[in-house]
Structure formats: structure tokens, C-alpha cells
Amino acid sequence: MAGRSPSGPEAARGAAPVVSEAVNKAHLEFCSSQEWARLVEDELLPWVLDGCELGDDLLEVGPGPGLTTDVLRHQAARLTALELDRDLAAQLAARLAGSNVTVVEGDATRMPFPDGRFSAAACLTMLHHIPSPALQDAALAELARVLRPGGLLAGADGLDTPARRELHVDDVFVPVDPGALAARLEAAGFGQARVDIAGDRVRFTAVKTLL
């Protein structure tokens, strides 16, 4: 399917690194809703993954309730979902037991994976829940570390808008500046960074620099 820009309310993925309550209750309920599931499957992921080759061993960071995971797991032979929140990680592991998904409880700024493990990684509406630009950069560097040389990072995030600020009352919201994102990806160890804006969202792809 040709890439389409997603629309509708912001829905960040689950808990972000170094924060135990990065998503408020209403926000988490939306992230578990059929409305978000339809948006993910019909709009967000077709847009983010348009033209992307994910390979055989995919990493997803910050899946939250896992509605993105439900779609991503059909894109690769193996999918590892890294989730900081213990309860969300346990619930997702139980729900997807016996599938091609392995759920790992862990911090995206300190990933428990060896260098060069994954063929690709997905980072979907979760960067802005990491509580500082420095920690966001640490997560990007960790993504580069655990990817194989030439491995692809594909992601999306929400732009800073009044409606999104309202949705994030009493949770973490550190929006990513799309104008600086390509340079930040390159500083983290990526090349071929591409950043696109459509509506109130930004998508990005980058490739781990060859050794």
C-alpha cells in the first residue's frame, strides 16, 4: 500500500525509559482502544513502513499495550518488543505467548541486547515520552548499537501541538524537533537519515552506518 499520512488523536506507546508513569490513564486507555488499533493498521504503519525492508529479526521499542506489535509481528520472522513498564510487558507477553514475539522488560537507553543483533528496529510514537533530549539521544545510540551494519530504523512521533499538549497533561511529553532529527540520528550512528512531516506527525528512517 502506498504510504499515507496518519490522522486523528495522538497515541504514544507505553512507558518510556527512566520514567515509570510516562503515560496518563486516559492516554493509556486510548493506546489500548479499537480506534488506535484501526489507525495503526490502516494509516500509521503503512505510512511509516512504506518502502522499508525489515529483514528477519525486528526490534520494537516502547510497544505499550502492543497494538503496534500486533501489526509489526507480521512484518518479520521474529519480533522482540522492549517495554519498560513491568505490567505492560507482562500483559503483552501473556497475550502473545506462543507467537513469534518475545517481550523483554527493559530500558531503551540501556538495552539488554548484544551489538549488531537486529536486522531492523521500529520506534513508534514513543520518543516524546523519554524525559529529556539527552536520554532520547541515548536511546537512538542504543538503537544504532543493537542493529546490524546496514540495519534500518523506522519510526514516527507526534509534533508539538496544543491538542497533543492537552492529551499529555500529567504525563511526560518532550516533543522531538523534526528540523534537528536527522542530525541527531547521524550523531547516534546512523546514515541516510530521512525525515518527513505530514499533518501533526513526523516519520523518520535511517540506516546504521557500515563498519
Instruction: Report yes or no on 49 lying in a domain.
Output: no
Distance (Å, rounded) from C-alpha 39 to C-alpha 9? 9
What's the domain range around 98? 25-44+54-208
Instruction: Report yes or no on 8 lying in a domain.
Output: no
Instruction: Report yes or no on 13 lying in a domain.
Output: no
Can you tell me the mean pLDDT for 28-48? 90
Can you tell me the mean pLDDT for 143-150? 98
Domains of the chain: total: 1
Query: What is the side-by-side order of every strand in the sheet holding 57-61?
Result: 101-105, 78-83, 57-61, 118-124, 147-158, 201-208, 190-198
Instruction: Report yes or no on 19 lying in a domain.
Output: no
DSSP-derived 3-state class of residue 170: coil
Nearby residues of 131 by Cβ (< 8 Å), 6 or more positions away = 16, 18, 19, 22, 172, 174
The grid coordinates of residue 65 equal: 499495550
Distance (Å, rounded) from C-alpha 163 to C-alpha 182? 25
Instruction: Report yes or no on 64 lying in a domain.
Output: yes
Confidence of residue 211 (pLDDT cuts 50, 70, 90): low
Confidence of residue 30 (pLDDT cuts 50, 70, 90): confident
In the chain, % of residues over pLDDT 90: 75
The grid coordinates of residue 63 equal: 510497544
Instruction: Report yes or no on 200 lying in a domain.
Output: yes
